[in-house]
Amino acid sequence: MKKLIHILFIVLVPQIIIAVLIYNYQNIKNEGNLEELQEAYAQVPQSSVDHAEFAVLQQDFETPHEVTEACLSCHTERGQELLKSSHFNWERETFIPGRGVVYLGKNNLINNFCTGIAGSEQTCTRCHAGFGYYDTTYNFHNEKNVDCLVCHDNSGIYKKAKGSAGYPAMGENAPDYGAIAHHIGRPNKQNCGVCHFYSAGGNNVKHGQLEKALLNTTKDVDVHMAQNGLDMECVDCHSAENHVMKGRYYGISSRDYNRATCEQCHNDRPHEDDIINEHTIKVACQTCHIPEYAKVNATKMYWDWSTACDLKDGNPYYELDSMGNKAYLSIKGSFTWKRNVKPDYKFFNGTADHYLLTDVVDTFPVQINTLFGSYDDRESKIWPVKIHRGKQPYDPQQKRILQAKLWDPEPGNGALWVDFDWDASLKAGMEYIGLPYSGEYEFVETEMYLPLNHMVSPATKSVSCAECHNRDNSRMAGLSGFYMPGRDRNNMLDLIGWILVLGSLAGVIVHGGIRIAINRKQNH
């Protein structure tokens, strides 16, 4: 009996102890700062003044320019700040490897949604943080052209009018500036959302993760902005210094600076498990924490301009898809919408290139923007992206993407959405830009890459290890140039390995079989 206990203590007990240790092992826990953050952001900043008390705001404003003047009479330096900001300039100096210094922005870039503003400014600049941007003659140096209220009216009363180059309604329909004055403050979700939720002409069309659902949502959709959570504002992360907001949108940005990052609050080792922290060397936070986009309303995945201009009885029309989204519009063509979309993934180092209207291309699909990055690049991380595919006009002679003039207050000026004539609109658009148009056009495939940053899911819903680390259905299947455990293998090595193992097995089976057979024979 004593002997048996001794044997058990040597042969069995240590194994049980080791097994229990392995099972209960916990990594050294890192100090998370989540609680501190929650405390800090739970405090809603209170305005120290009621702007309605100020005499300068107790007047009957004739024009919105007068409102701006009133603002600037106290906030004397802010106008100049705005004149330097990209919300006002729609263009900034940037550097792109291979191109050098270029001036890029909404003013001169083309995309594969509504394409570009050239010739159609009067409607597009409804989202300009200024007044009166009708065309290229606009004065970007007059601080009275700045629109303060579109960002700082927290009442929701102030609205810019359609097709009015950034002006609100005037005269009788003018906003109630007296009421607005009571609610001046830092920009809230509605202020930012009025443009950023509806970019490309409708809710969630462009970004797929910035949409009106964020105004009233749950933690499952957006852990930061949820009404049942911290209810954070856009500017909590996109904080501003002298009206320069943190954050880059790579549909127009090219450089890696002043980005709004997760790390600015969460640091780069926020997980309890160090193996997960190590991932941050090569994997962006967003990759695991944004498992899908377009979680509430659908987003556009494909925009085919080639079918535009079809009319019924001479009138434009639209068709709805099964989700109730416009699948066809005479003015814009056909679209594919998707909800709950799994992102694509790219190595991205925070710099990007853009298709410029002067570029000559003959490889398709045309890359509207290019996110730079690769596994070997030390600054690159894997990012989730929305890839928006399009089909848009192209000049096979000049080998350039063509910009159509889309809108005009009057018919007969070549605007596509008014006259429904491709050739006329392309002629008007290219003439406006000052680039040649051969008169010949066709529709070519284009691709645009939008890194995803918003609608962060709760930690419990983040992408699990096995969704990437698996052989057949990895989220990272499209990425190459590196070895990923669980996904990759060397087929030759595996073949040799299994031949070795199964060969050994076969060998001992045969060997043992012969021994058994001989034994039987002898026993008989």
Binding footprint of another protein on the chain (CB under 8 A):
3, 6-7, 10-12, 14-15, 18-19, 21-23, 25, 269, 275, 278, 281-282, 375-376, 378, 464-466, 469-471, 482-490, 493-494, 496-498, 500-501, 503-505, 507-508, 511-512, 514-515, 518, 522
Minimum separation from the CB atom of position 233 to another protein (A)? 33
Minimum separation from the CB atom of position 482 to another protein (A)? 5
The residue among 18 and 40 lying less far from another protein, judged by its C-beta, is 18
Q: Which residues pair with 245 in a beta bridge?
A: 240
State how far the alpha carbon of 506 is from the alpha carbons of 178, 307, 517, 519, in Å.
90, 65, 16, 20
- Kindly tell me the burial class for residue 69, based on how many C-beta atoms sit within 10 Å of its own C-beta (0-12, 13-18, 19 or more): middle
Q: How far is CA 471 from the centre of its chain?
A: 28
The residue among 255 and 469 lying less far from another protein, judged by its C-beta, is 469
Minimum separation from the CB atom of position 258 to another protein (A)? 22
Number of helices (H), then strands (E), belonging to the chain: the values are: 18, 15
The residue among 10 and 360 lying less far from another protein, judged by its C-beta, is 10
Q: 306 and 391 in contact (C-beta within 8 Å)?
A: yes
Distance CA 346, CA 236 (A): 27
The residue among 22 and 101 lying less far from another protein, judged by its C-beta, is 22
Minimum separation from the CB atom of position 264 to another protein (A)? 18
Distance CA 378, CA 375 (A): 8
Region for residue 522 given its phi and psi (left: phi exceeds 0; alpha: psi -120 to 50; beta: otherwise): alpha
Buried b or exposed e, range 31-64, using 16+ CB within 10 angstroms: eeeeeeeeeebeeeeeeeeebeeeeebeeebeeb
Minimum separation from the CB atom of position 265 to another protein (A)? 19
Minimum separation from the CB atom of position 289 to another protein (A)? 16
Query: Which residue has 């990594």 as its token pair?
Result: 27
* Residues ≥6 apart with Cβ < 8 Å to 282: 375, 380, 381, 382
State how far the alpha carbon of 319 is from the alpha carbons of 5, 326, 388, 447, in Å.
81, 6, 21, 24
The residue among 19 and 74 lying less far from another protein, judged by its C-beta, is 19
Distance CA 449, CA 387 (A): 5
The residue among 44 and 493 lying less far from another protein, judged by its C-beta, is 493
Minimum separation from the CB atom of position 342 to another protein (A)? 18
The residue among 434 and 513 lying less far from another protein, judged by its C-beta, is 513
Q: 226 and 217 in contact (C-beta within 8 Å)?
A: yes
Minimum separation from the CB atom of position 489 to another protein (A)? 7
Minimum separation from the CB atom of position 261 to another protein (A)? 16
The residue among 40 and 496 lying less far from another protein, judged by its C-beta, is 496
Q: Nearest to residue 147, comparing CAs of 173, 121, 177?
A: 177
